Structure 1
Amino acid sequence: MSIRLGYQMPNFSYSGSVAELFPTVIAQAREAESAGFDAAFVMDHFYQLPGIGAPDEPMLEAYSALSALATATSRIQLSALVTGNTYRNPTLLAKTVTTLDVVSGGRAVLGIGAGWYELEHQQLGFDFGTFTDRFERLDEALQIIVPMLRGERPTFDGKWYRTESAMNEPRLRDDLPVMLGGSGEKKTFALAARFAQHMNIICDPAELPRKLDALAQRCQEAGRDRSTLETSFLAFVMIDEDGDRARQAQREFLRARGVDLDTLSEEQRKAATSRQFVGDPDTVAADLQARVLDPGIDGLIVNLVTNGHEPGVVDLAGRTLKKLVG
């Protein structure tokens, strides 16, 4: 498994009818595949996230959508970025991602995290619990899921979950990769060192040197060679052949969410846009190189939150970024 360049679809708020929604998703996945992206991702949420849109904006169930994309593509890896552990029993999740792997011909990646969006849990009836609860649950879940992905039959009796010789058939392979997503230097990184092949780090790019030092420390504590754990960074990319048009799209995107860049101080503007990479292809590439890759991140996962659904934009991003990550 290697994900040097990934494409995440962060929203499904397209113009047109609901009947036209999924064909637009398929078109993006196919364009990402032909542009050389290694993986396509959807979010595992039921409501749209704060900062991207209102809770009632369109959101597809992740694994149904990924299974459909499996039949519409042939090479690109498919994953949730990332699965919320709180939404599914771990044995069900192991079965679900293994089925996606079978359906896709061996292209599934299990992206997983502890879960964090309280409104979904509250309104849909999922147990949210405390921060500590969610990480205890994720730790237990991985002790069940990873053996099931490898063809073992785990028996487990924990605080949150129990299994009895849990079976998972059919499987196409015993090395379906696991990706942890998050920013927690103690808990998340420690779980990645124990269980994952890939760590997707979500943070302000200025924090990356510290995050990578912490990840190396967790690997050392786990007795693991840090070089065996691939890393990536999730970036919001707003790209256009016309850089002014990309910057205008950024302003409109933020203004629609109550943030007016013109009224902010320099410090506030930096905070509001730290994970955004905006402009023409050369500007975006140079910014990602300097702020993400130079500090030591292996790969890029990008979303094109303002215009990714427009034909040709995913291809432009792929052609621009592929040269950065090889």
Structure 2
Amino acid sequence: MRLALHIDDYSGFGAPGELGPVLARVAETAESAGFARLSVPDHMWHAEDAAAPMPESYTTLGFVAARTRSIELQTLVTAATYRPPGLLAKIVSTLDVLSGGRAWLGIGPGRNAGEAAGLGLPFGPAGERFDRLEETVQICRQTWSVNCDPFVGEHYRLGSTVGSPRPVSRPRPRILIGGDEEEALRLAAVYADASNVRTGQDARHRIDRLRGHCAEAGRDPDAVETTGVLSHPADGRGDADRLLKELWRLNESGFDTVYLAVPGAGTLTPLETVGAKIIPEIATW
């Protein structure tokens, strides 16, 4: 099992002028501690407090790329309707090139209608968002290939999918599709390298559904990494045993990688503790 660091709350990173230096130290510490991946939410507002800091995700990942060397980078997850697909493909491929092949495309249909309306971003009904998600993934995959042909879909029409520089990742940046809905699981089985689902007590059922869709698509279920987000259960005293028990439950449920949201990450100590007590233990699972 692998651990990724999910930064979902910047409120402990200090004033705006301090956010960059603190984020750099968090990313460097996470990499040194052995976290395999670093993810950030693709939100423009904080879900619970619109006044809380929420930097734009891909600018943030570009900054982190410059301060790290090996940790993988992604959003968890981009709302498919927030950026035109051709532009999104260019953003991710640029991040991949500048980071030396460490970029993922984490993407989903989008769920925050209020955020989208507040910023004038397209949203649409659920069925349409899933259709746009599928076309977006198709466009990204085509843009990252040597195929420069036009793309004509129901929602998007591109005159050319030329993309240069080509991504460093081979054969392309990896794709994670997030969501528990049947359509999200189907799309992950068809197009993605990873699927992100909720980590509750019925998580095993979701993973079994994903595996069923893989079988229908003719893919080896083991080819799709299973991931989920877990809030660090420590009570402020660094309860490593509690965290290990939760991770073991997820390992038994079939998760390959867990994105850990760590309260107080800006102080660095919780990250160092996880690196010393948790990551070496789960590496053998």
TM range (shorter): over 0.9
Q: Give, in angstroms, the shift of residue 310 of structure 1.
A: 1.2
User: Does 2:275 match 1:280?
Assistant: no
Match for residue 118 of structure 1?
Answer: 113
User: Does 2:61 match 1:66?
Assistant: yes
2:162 to 167, 175, 183: 167
Kindly report structure 1 stretches of 4+ aligned residues shifted beyond 4 Å.
none
Match for residue 251 of structure 2?
Answer: 293
Q: C-alpha distance in 2, partners of 1:126/1:320?
A: 43
Q: Kindly report which structure 2 residues correspond to 1:89-238, keeping only aligned pairs within 5 A, or say none.
A: 89-171=84-166, 172-173=168-169, 174-184=171-181, 186-201=182-197, 203-238=198-233
Match for residue 75 of structure 1?
Answer: 70
Report if the CA contact (8 A) 2:188-2:195 is conserved. Answer: yes
Q: C-alpha distance in 1, partners of 2:254/2:100?
A: 32
In structure 2, give the amino acid aligned to 1:127: P
Match for residue 26 of structure 2?
Answer: 28
Q: Kindly report which structure 2 residues correspond to 1:23-62, keeping only aligned pairs within 5 A, or say none.
A: 23-49=21-47, 53-62=48-57
Q: C-alpha distance in 2, partners of 1:288/1:314?
A: 16
Cα shift readout 1:19-62 (whole Å, capped 9, x = no counterpart): 0012111111111100011111111110001xxx3122110000
Q: Give, in angstroms, the shift of residue 315 of structure 1.
A: 1.7
Q: Give, in angstroms, the shift of residue 15 of structure 1.
A: 5.8
User: Does 2:6 match 1:11?
Assistant: no
Cα shift readout 1:99-130 (whole Å, capped 9, x = no counterpart): 00111111111111111111111111112110
Identity of aligned residues (%): 34
Q: Give, in angstroms, the shift of residue 308 of structure 1.
A: 1.4
Q: Give, in angstroms, the shift of residue 297 of structure 1.
A: 1.1
C-alpha distance 282-62 of structure 1, shift in aligned 2 (>3 A): same
Query: Tell me, what secondary structure is at the counterpart of 2:148?
Result: coil
Q: Give, in angstroms, the shift of residue 154 of structure 1.
A: 4.0
Greater CA radius of gyration, 1 or 2? Answer: 1
* TM-score where L is the length of structure 2: 0.94
Q: C-alpha distance in 1, partners of 2:274/2:129?
A: 35
Q: C-alpha distance in 2, partners of 1:318/1:232?
A: 19
Query: Tell me, what secondary structure is at the counterpart of 1:87?
Result: coil
C-alpha distance 74-195 of structure 1, shift in aligned 2 (>3 A): same
Q: C-alpha distance in 2, partners of 1:198/1:133?
A: 22
Q: Considering only aligned residues, what root-mean-square deviation do their CA atoms show, in Å? A: 1.6
Q: C-alpha distance in 1, partners of 2:71/2:173?
A: 14
Q: Give, in angstroms, the shift of residue 139 of structure 1.
A: 0.9
In structure 2, give the amino acid aligned to 1:175: R
